[in-house]
Amino acid sequence: MNKQNTSNFSRSWKASKNPGKQRKYRTNSPLHLKQKLLNAHISKDLRKKYSKRSIRIRKGDKVKIMAGRFSRHEGKVERIDLKKTRVYISGVETTKKDGTKKMLPVHPSNVMIMELSLDDKLRQKILERK
């Protein structure tokens, strides 16, 4: 029988005040819980419209980077890495020594959602419910 991450993970760490245990919880948590860590703030007009402060990031959302090297840069979410809880945004890339471009990961806490991708009916329901 294949035991993946179950031995390293415990829900009781979530309640701990110890920063090391909090980091351990986030790092070793299974993917269905890591998905919940991908929330980001939304812009003021979206906040008024949906009366929510933050929502989960999705591929296709238009975002603005708020902190770091690429701050104030706007782009579309190209892909999301659940394992590392990082977001890849179009235009946020670096040039390697051989001349090829490589996308740089951004943490969801450093991003603000400017436009939502509303292709999914389930996401629309999530936004409309109170």
Mean pLDDT on 21-31: 89
Question: Residue 8's pLDDT is what?
Answer: 78
Residue 19 lies inside a defined structural domain of this protein: no
Question: Residue 55's pLDDT is what?
Answer: 93
* Residue numbers of the domain that contains 90: 38-128
Residue 75 lies inside a defined structural domain of this protein: yes
pLDDT band at 3 (very low <50, low <70, confident <90, very high): low
Residue 68 lies inside a defined structural domain of this protein: yes
Residue 104 lies inside a defined structural domain of this protein: yes
- Above 90 in pLDDT, residue 102? yes
Residue 7 lies inside a defined structural domain of this protein: no
Residue 47 lies inside a defined structural domain of this protein: yes
Segment 50-95, tens digit of pLDDT: 999 999 999 999 999 999 999 999 999 999 999 999 999 999 999 9
Residue 120 lies inside a defined structural domain of this protein: yes
DSSP symbols for 63-119? EEE-SSTTTT-EEEEEEEETTTTEEEEEEEEEE-TTS-EEEEEE-GGGEEEEE----
CATH code at position 58: 2.30.30.30
Residue 86 lies inside a defined structural domain of this protein: yes
pLDDT band at 9 (very low <50, low <70, confident <90, very high): confident
- Above 90 in pLDDT, residue 116? yes
Domains: count for the chain: 1
* Contact of 123 with 58, CB cutoff 8 Å: yes
